[in-house]
Structure 1
Amino acid sequence: MNPRVSFVKYKPHHKLIVTFNNNEIKEFDLCKYLDYPVYEPLKDEAFCSKVTVKNGIVQWDDVIDIDPDIVYIESTPVLTHPFHV
């Protein structure tokens, strides 16, 4: 099992800065998911920016979520502190 999400911050252009429970910080690009019907609401950056974490899972309004394993595997390491990104 991969690490779970402990914190998430929205970054413009549909990117997420994700901190995992093993203290890794990674960037996840949502763009390739936006054409799937379930993720279409995330095209609205105002809605997308309301991202939260619940039980280790990235989600929006308890309606849309992304598997934390996908987020972990498909994200890239952040080389700077997330508050400077």
Structure 2
Amino acid sequence: MIEVKSVETTDEFALLLTFNNGERRYFDMRPYLHYPVFRRLANPGFFSLAYVDYGTVVWPGNIDIAPETLFDSSVPIDSMPV
């Protein structure tokens, strides 16, 4: 089962994730910010409150996103153009 071990946020509404398999990946949250459940994350200050709980990324107010989604829809950091 894939789990998130750590998360960092960026000013561009992205998550830098480390998974329990050792992979570091980049997940762009911008396409998700129009969904009602994620609208509060459009506030940069609130977005930066992301943390890991029980293997996934969460925010205050019971906002979370499945670790499988984070893994499947992210790209390895080492494959990103510089």
Tell whether the structures are fold-level matches, with TM greater than 0.5.
yes
Residues 18-68 of structure 1: per-residue CA shift (max 9 Å, x gap): 000011000000011000001000000100001000010100015100011
Aligned length: 80
Distance in 1 separating the partners of 2:61 and 2:18: 20
Alpha-carbon distance between aligned partners in 2 of 1:32 and 1:12, rounded to the nearest angstrom:
15
Aligned to 1:26: 25
Give the match for residue 79 of structure 1.
78
Structure 1 position 12 matched with structure 2 position 11: yes
Over aligned residues, Cα RMSD in angstroms?
Answer: 1.6
CA offset at residue 11 of structure 1? 1.0
Q: Secondary structure at the match of 1:41?
A: helix
Question: Partners in 2 of 1:47 and 1:62 — Cα distance?
Answer: 11
Identity, % of aligned positions: 37
* Cα distance between partner residues in 1 of 2:10 and 2:36: 22
Q: TM-score of the superposition, structure 2-length normalised?
A: 0.92
